[in-house]
């Protein structure tokens, strides 16, 4: 992939985080990326195509830093609480006031909201959701190895949906970040206890 293309996608994430998907103007994007409008239409069919690619880009970037965070876990030591801590870390990663995280979360929220009215975006969205839920379900499975698979899947879907709800509230300024993080941590505890009861 060319540098320009990537630069445009990065700029798109930035502009979307600033103005929203519906507020994104190709002209502003061109200025942000430091290219001409025409080049954007050269690299991406049209506005919707650009949005689709941006969604994929944002997803990849999120996966990347999730993986990095996971790699930065415990080295050789084998603490028994490690799986639970890793799970918490993964879920709380999206509830941080860092530029990258905020940008990704905002763009993700916007693209999800846009998908309500633009079915073209749904494929990408559904895929990312499934992958994300699968990952959380796996980590739950490491915390509670004897819990049935179906219960893990359901718990993971609840936790990821809750994360999106909390994130939306945080980003729209109606819930302080610390509250969102607390609610998320509590929910993990509640779900893990629930899974324990099923054993």
Beta carbon of residue 60, minimum distance to DNA (angstroms, whole number): 19
Beta strands in 4-133 (DSSP E): none
Using DSSP, state whether 176 is helix, strand or coil: coil
End-to-end distance of the chain based on CA atoms, in angstroms?
Answer: 49
- Which partner in DNA, a copy of itself, none is near 2 (CB below 5 to 8 A by kind)? DNA
d(CA 129, CA 124): 9
Beta carbon of residue 177, minimum distance to a copy of itself (angstroms, whole number): 14
Nearer to DNA, 34 or 148 (CB): 34
Residues between 137 and 156 with contacts to DNA, criterion CB under 7 A: none
d(CA 148, CA 29): 47
Using the rule CB under 7 A, is 37 a contact of DNA?
yes
d(CA 158, CA 48): 30
Beta carbon of residue 135, minimum distance to a copy of itself (angstroms, whole number): 16
Nearer to DNA, 43 or 185 (CB): 43
- Which partner in DNA, a copy of itself, none is near 102 (CB below 5 to 8 A by kind)? none
């Amino acid at each position: 992939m060319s540098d320009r293309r990537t630069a445009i996608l990065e700029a798109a994430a930035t502009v979307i985080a600033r103005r929203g998907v519906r507020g994104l103007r190709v002209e502003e994007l061109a200025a942000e990326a430091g290219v001409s409008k025409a080049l954007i239409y050269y690299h991406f069919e049209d506005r919707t195509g650009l949005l689709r690619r941006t969604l994929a880009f944002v997803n990849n970037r999120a996966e990347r830093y999730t993986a990095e965070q996971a790699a930065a876990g415990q080295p050789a030591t084998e603490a028994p609480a490690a799986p639970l801590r890793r799970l918490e870390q993964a879920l709380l990663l999206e509830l941080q006031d860092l530029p990258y995280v905020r940008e990704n979360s905002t763009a993700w929220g916007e693209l999800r909201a846009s998908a309500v009215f633009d079915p073209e975006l749904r494929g990408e969205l559904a895929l990312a959701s499934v992958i994300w839920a699968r990952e959380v379900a796996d980590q739950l499975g490491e915390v509670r190895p004897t819990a049935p698979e179906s219960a893990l899947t359901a718990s993971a879907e609840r936790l990821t949906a809750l994360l999106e709800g909390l994130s939306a509230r945080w980003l729209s300024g109606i819930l302080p970040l610390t509250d969102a993080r607390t609610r998320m941590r509590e929910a993990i505890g509640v779900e893990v206890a629930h899974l324990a009861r099923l054993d």
